[in-house]
Amino acid sequence: MSKINRRDLLVRAWKWGFGLVSVAAAWTTWDMFKPSNASGFGTKVSAGPADSVPIDNVTEVPAMRGYLTTDKGEAVALWWKCPHLGCRVPWCDSSGEFECPCHGSVFNRVGEWREGPAPRGLDRFSMQIVDGVVEVDTGSVITGPPHGPETIDEPVRGPKCEGTEDA
C-alpha cells in the first residue's frame, strides 16, 4: 500500500466532491424536464357522470376534495376548504348547510356565507361536462362569493351537526 501525500488527497477529494455535485445537478435537471403524469388534486379530475349531480342536494367527491351541487339548474363544484383558516368544511344533512367545525362559519348549499368569521363563501372550482362526465379543474380555484344576500331561499332544515354549535 502506497502512502498518499496531502496534495493528492485534496485533489482526489475535490474531484469526488465536484463529481457528486455534478451528478446531483444532472439528476435535478432530469427531474425538471422529464414528462410528468399529472393526476389527482391540482389537475383535472373526473367527478362522475353528469346525471349523478344531485339536484337541490350535495354529494361529496373525495378526488376533487370538494362537493358537487346545483345552483339554478347548473352544476357547481365547491372546495371543502374553509376560506377563514383552511379547515375542512363538512356538509350537514340535518341542517342542510356546510358547517365549519373549527370556528363556526356556516354556508348554504351553494357555498354562500351565512354566518361566522369566514371572509367570503366557499371557493369553487372551474368545471365542464365532457362526453357526459363532469370534469373538475382543481388547479383552477375561483374565489367564493362575498358576504351579501343569498341567491337561494332555503331555510335551515333542522338541527346543526355535532361539534359546530359551540364553535
Domain edges within the chain: 1-34, 44-142
Amino acid, res. 161 = C
Bridge partners, 61 (sequence order) = 66
Q: Cell numbers at residue 78, please?
A: 365547491
- Any idea which residue has 348547510 for its cell? 97
pTM higher than the cut 0.95:
no
Task: List Cα–Cα distances, 13 to 20, 22, 64, 113, 164, in angstroms.
Answer: 11, 14, 50, 63, 62
pLDDT, residue 107, reads 93
User: pLDDT category, 167, cuts 50, 70, 90?
Assistant: very low
For domain 44-142, the question of CATH label 2.102.10.10 is answered with yes
> For residue range 55-104, what is the model confidence (pLDDT) as tens digits?
778 888 888 899 988 888 788 899 999 999 899 999 998 888 999 998 88
Q: Looking at the predicted structure, is the pLDDT value of residue 35 above 90?
A: no
